[in-house]
Structure 1
Amino acid sequence: MDRVWLKRYPSGVPAEINADYFPSLLDIFSQSIAQYPNKTAFINMGKGISYQELDKKSTAFAAYLQTELGLKKGDAVAIMMPNLLQYPIVLMGILRAGCTVVNVNPLYTARELEHQLSDSKAKTIIIVENFAHTLAAVENKLHLEHVILTKMGDCLGTLKGTAVNLVVKYIKKLVPAYKLDKFVRFNDTLAKGATLSYSQPVMQGSDIAFLQYTGGTTGVSKGAMLTHRNMVGNLEQVSGCLDTFLEKGHEHVVTALPLYHIFALTANFFTFFKYGGTNLLITNPRDMPGFVKELSKFPFTAITGVNTLFNGLLNTPGFKDLNFSTLRLSLGGGMAVQRPVAERWQKTTGTRLVEGYGLTECCPLVTVSPYDLDSFNGSIGLPAPSTDIRLVDEAGNDVPAGEAGEMLVKGPQVMLGYLNRPEETDKVLKDGWLYTGDIARMDEQGFFYIVDRKKDMILVSGFNVYPNEIEEVVAMNEKVLEVAAVGVPNEATGEAVKLFIVKKDQSLTEKEIIQHCREQLTGYKVPKLVEFRTELPKTNVGKILRRELRG
């Protein structure tokens, strides 16, 4: 496809970037630490950590992993925690030890956690005590060698940290009872690591930085292998789009999306670390009044989120009264930004809500709206520098201009493949092109618009939900004869999961099904609607037609 979008790039945005500018993510860490040693890198619950302090603690953690635990370059290490100050220390420590990060959603059920840890062959996990009971339920099925346990307040200082830990455990009762065979305390690893010597490994662009789990194009969760070069390339692409817009050393970004999600990981953690910015980490964005209170104390210049988050803020008392004079960048991704939300956001804050599009398999940025647009235009923007996009029909032929086709992506950000799944990799990666499964069209200026989704994936508040997984869980119930899961429009979350069930036992109730799903699936995957039918539509070979059920 002719790169017509290059003519629409704002002044200063390059057509190409150098994905090898930094040999690895470790070089980005070193540069920012050297340039902004005394700047606050992250703030959480009122406590800040400087670039210099983060350097010291992450190095100590890396030394502990290397020397005390004997981890080698390439070993997989899992992180299971929400947005806390421990996260950047641990993430940087793992990468600095030359290991591979496996991000785990802390709300995962034992079944989901077991799959991810087994598939990634993670030898070590750093987990917040609040979720230790989930790990305990499957500990004897795993080949974990080390468990590092942390409490919510571990990085908040002795006084505040102790108070937070007591409140979390005894007043809010957010730490269910657990029994783990063996574990070490996070703060003990830092103390011990500080006495050990750290050896910086020689990293190459081809080394895997992240095993970032996603459903890909079908049900079972797969580890997208994201190399250092993939991540560096995507960060250089982000910089290409934002260099003339963001001010190095002066940005303050609100990070309410979880850092274990690829969007916040790249757009917030790495991008603003590279720019010498300050990340305000929100541990529980669902507490909207508390979230707004945090915002009132922080002169933020940027905020990222999904449509539901922006909508939630707009409907929270006190938000419209905040001081938005410093805000310049509002970035929406993970799910489609709705026009009414974008228009209301612009009216309330005075800044446009910029929409981007990405996939876990692309680290994630593929397209983003240029910052010089006056208002929301409903597109997912223009391809990032060094990104090629084709739109093809079912036969793989390029479609004529203006027509819709499946979106194919090529660029330095495209993953190596799925861990342990060559067949799945071959389905989506052909001749360097990633088949996204999304149907899009392009206008004459090069703006892309998502018009449909080829795959059956359901998008709930920016999280991928795969019907196969839901159906498999529901089918565990012996009263179910047949089941199909589809996505239906939902004002709050974009889409919600709806089940269509044929009963084997007529005593089966909606309540029973929902309860069963709650025990087996993380919250956003739990169906909101259940409809019982006498039969489900099928193809002539007996495959259930989800498309017909979606109507």
Structure 2
Amino acid sequence: MMKMRAYSGLVYQAKINPDTPAIIDDFSAYTYSQMLSDVYCLKSALESAGITGQDRIAVISTNRYEVMLLVLCGLLGGPVVVPVNRRVAIDEMEWIVDNAAAKAIFVDSELENEISLCGRDVFQNTPVRVFSGLNANNASNDFLSWLRDFPDAAIDAEYLPSRPYLQVYTSGTSGRPKGVVLSEENCLGQLTSLLLSIDLSLAQGDSIYEGLPLFHVGGIFISLLALNIGLTLRYAQKFCPVGFESMVLAGDVQHAALVPAMLQACVSLPKNDKDSFRIKSILYGASPINSSTLTHSKDRYGCDFLQVYGMTETHSLISVMSAADHRYLFDTNKIAGSAGRAIPGSVLEIVDADGNVLPCGKAGEIRVSSQNVMCGYWQNEEATRDTLRDGFLYTGDVGYLNEEGFLFIIDRLKDIIISGGENVSSLEVESVLLGHPKVVDVAVVATPDVRWGEVVTAVVVSNDDSFSTTELIEYAKPLLGGFKTPKIVHVVDTIPRNANGKILKKVLREQFSTIGNM
């Protein structure tokens, strides 16, 4: 008997809307019928090269059509896809490819020279196939030309829920990153839960700008959602706030998926009286958003907003702050700072250090049980046992639930600052400091202190030459109180972030831990 699959929507769209563009990237446009045909041919091409569903392949690229072909091929019974962060150093790329035992590597043309000249054994000994582009050096090695020489392959009709299709490496907080293994069952659970909880007007034929990178699960899950419901995905190799807003003004996109740092960049742009942003909705997630950025985004775009909270280990989905929830927030401010409510089909609990469930209003570690929770970490049983316990995934995030079931995230467990025996949320302090008119970006971390154990340390980006650290401290004191107010303030040009816009607090702790108090 036929079963619903995570790619069933794509097959359906190719039948009823074959000529609708599925993806438009910086190089070309591709219809739904073309995409489905290319996926079938790709599976056949890989099989002819001896690469099957039991193998892994690495892909290192910016956002483009070919990356999603590989992901969909994995869902259709092809090899497990290992997307590698395009922005990490060659050393880390090499380690991930080697750790995953990838049988082939797929790269964009801009990275081709760097890989071929680096002299690393993994890249020299593993077959490399290139996505053509503006700087392609070897047209005969072009990915699309290669796969289209093969006939359609039979898809894997047997539904094996636990069969992996994706392996995404998390940015490790210590040591090497961990490979999160995700199955089709995880993907199908995530898609179903999102479709049940989303309340945006997403119409077939609408276009959505995908700002989240495809080497992170957030970019993949938004893309899969779009393809299953008949949207046209718009990819860009690099995010440009001016370019994005030009697309919106021209009516080329009706929806967007962005990280908060991208929204912050957009609302910092000047707005002319003639600007009329014709956009229906913005989905955001991957990192916390401060109230100032969200309010300015609402005022600028006047559209619906939807927030997703999750992590790689949950196929990017734990809770959703719906468009209706955002309207309630904007009208009343009663659920400011919430990450929404648990997705359908999941159990979300707040527990203490012993695993006891805590009542509403009490803060503890967030744990979740759902169909989209990962299979485990690749070849890392110890880390898997530490994270998956008692039928739950322990997130490492600290938060609480209110009486209505809204989740509020306080901080990462590792980012809680303990100063003089008092717990301080770095996120709370960041939110207050961003309210200062001369502060455009901020990160708050703990640094060692002889007297207090740890002190609150702010790393700040300002847009005003007259800004002083003293005025920021004086601004914060009445809003935060004594022990939460930063004792140390460093002014920098930029805050380090990963590709998903998350602040690299480990880098900042290491950078400023040896610098003394003011």
TM-score (norm 1): 0.72
Distance 1:386 1:125 in 2: 36
1:330 match: 282
**Displacement of 1:416:** 0.7
2:377 equivalent to 1:418: yes
**Displacement of 1:101:** 0.9
2:35 equivalent to 1:80: no
**Displacement of 1:111:** 1.0
**Displacement of 1:204:** 1.6
The answer to whether the Cα contact below 8 Å between 1:99 and 1:209 also exists between their aligned partners in 2 is: yes
3-state SS of paired residue (2:324): coil
* CA deviations over 1:66-99 (Å, ceiling 9, x no partner): 12x1211221111111112322233323443521
The answer to whether the Cα contact below 8 Å between 1:227 and 1:415 also exists between their aligned partners in 2 is: yes
**Displacement of 1:252:** 1.8
Distance 1:406 1:321 in 2: 48
2:246 equivalent to 1:293: yes
Structural mapping, 1:379-398, within 5 Å = 379-398=338-357
Distance 1:211 1:320 in 2: 46
Q: Return 25-34 or 139-148, whichever deviates more.
A: 139-148
2:239 equivalent to 1:279: no
- Runs (4+) off by over 6 Å: 457-460
1:186 match: 143
**Displacement of 1:530:** 3.6
**Displacement of 1:54:** 1.0
**Displacement of 1:398:** 1.5
3-state SS of paired residue (2:82): strand
Output the amino acid matched with 1:452.
D
2:170 equivalent to 1:214: yes
Distance 2:17 2:515 in 1: 65
**Displacement of 1:144:** 5.1
3-state SS of paired residue (1:389): strand
Match of 2:261 among 278, 296, 308: 308
When residues 208 and 444 of structure 1 are mapped into structure 2, their CA distance, relative to the original with a 3 A threshold, is same
Output the amino acid matched with 1:307.
P
Distance 1:348 1:338 in 2: 16
When residues 487 and 296 of structure 1 are mapped into structure 2, their CA distance, relative to the original with a 3 A threshold, is farther
When residues 413 and 56 of structure 1 are mapped into structure 2, their CA distance, relative to the original with a 3 A threshold, is same
When residues 490 and 38 of structure 1 are mapped into structure 2, their CA distance, relative to the original with a 3 A threshold, is farther
Distance 1:37 1:26 in 2: 15
The answer to whether the Cα contact below 8 Å between 2:3 and 2:159 also exists between their aligned partners in 1 is: no
3-state SS of paired residue (1:386): coil
Unaligned runs of 5+ in 1: 1-19, 153-164, 170-174, 468-483, 493-513, 536-548
Output the amino acid matched with 2:229.
Y
When residues 184 and 411 of structure 1 are mapped into structure 2, their CA distance, relative to the original with a 3 A threshold, is same
The answer to whether the Cα contact below 8 Å between 2:373 and 2:393 also exists between their aligned partners in 1 is: yes
Distance 1:417 1:527 in 2: 27
Distance 1:442 1:41 in 2: 39
2:305 match: 353
2:30 match: 49
The answer to whether the Cα contact below 8 Å between 2:287 and 2:502 also exists between their aligned partners in 1 is: no
**Displacement of 1:228:** 0.2
1:146 match: 127
When residues 399 and 231 of structure 1 are mapped into structure 2, their CA distance, relative to the original with a 3 A threshold, is same
Structural mapping, 1:8-87, within 5 Å = 23-45=4-26, 47-67=28-48, 69-87=49-67
Q: Return 23-32 or 224-233, whichever deviates more.
A: 23-32
**Displacement of 1:397:** 1.3
**Displacement of 1:248:** 4.1
The answer to whether the Cα contact below 8 Å between 2:97 and 2:122 also exists between their aligned partners in 1 is: no
* CA deviations over 1:211-230 (Å, ceiling 9, x no partner): 01114665421111100000
Q: Percent identity?
A: 22
1:371 match: 323
When residues 47 and 317 of structure 1 are mapped into structure 2, their CA distance, relative to the original with a 3 A threshold, is farther
The answer to whether the Cα contact below 8 Å between 1:342 and 1:353 also exists between their aligned partners in 2 is: no
The answer to whether the Cα contact below 8 Å between 2:57 and 2:103 also exists between their aligned partners in 1 is: yes
* CA deviations over 1:471-516 (Å, ceiling 9, x no partner): xxxxxxxxxxxxx9x9955569xxxxxxxxxxxxxxxxxxxxx9xx
3-state SS of paired residue (1:231): helix
Distance 1:447 1:489 in 2: 30
**Displacement of 1:301:** 2.5
* CA deviations over 1:323-382 (Å, ceiling 9, x no partner): 434x33212201111101111111111124332210000001110112213235220000
Distance 2:51 2:241 in 1: 40
Greater RCO (CA < 8 Å, at least 6 residues apart): 1
2:364 match: 405
**Displacement of 1:532:** 7.3
**Displacement of 1:389:** 0.8
2:487 match: none
When residues 209 and 282 of structure 1 are mapped into structure 2, their CA distance, relative to the original with a 3 A threshold, is same
**Displacement of 1:198:** 1.3
**Displacement of 1:435:** 0.5
Distance 2:401 2:95 in 1: 39
3-state SS of paired residue (2:192): helix
**Displacement of 1:531:** 3.9
Distance 2:502 2:293 in 1: 24
* CA deviations over 1:413-465 (Å, ceiling 9, x no partner): 100100100000000100220000100011111101001211359999xxxx9
When residues 210 and 220 of structure 1 are mapped into structure 2, their CA distance, relative to the original with a 3 A threshold, is same
TM-score (norm 2): 0.76
2:211 match: 256
Match of 2:192 among 222, 228, 236: 236
Q: Return 296-305 or 365-374, whichever deviates more.
A: 296-305
Name the count of aligned residue pairs.
Answer: 438
2:155 equivalent to 1:200: yes
**Displacement of 1:142:** 5.7
When residues 22 and 62 of structure 1 are mapped into structure 2, their CA distance, relative to the original with a 3 A threshold, is same
Output the amino acid matched with 2:99.
D
Output the amino acid matched with 2:232.
T
**Displacement of 1:133:** 4.0
The answer to whether the Cα contact below 8 Å between 2:6 and 2:191 also exists between their aligned partners in 1 is: no
Distance 1:328 1:187 in 2: 34
Distance 2:355 2:274 in 1: 52
**Displacement of 1:400:** 2.4
2:386 equivalent to 1:433: no
* CA deviations over 1:36-93 (Å, ceiling 9, x no partner): 21211111237321101111222222211112x1211221111111112322233323
When residues 205 and 234 of structure 1 are mapped into structure 2, their CA distance, relative to the original with a 3 A threshold, is same
When residues 321 and 261 of structure 1 are mapped into structure 2, their CA distance, relative to the original with a 3 A threshold, is farther
**Displacement of 1:298:** 3.7
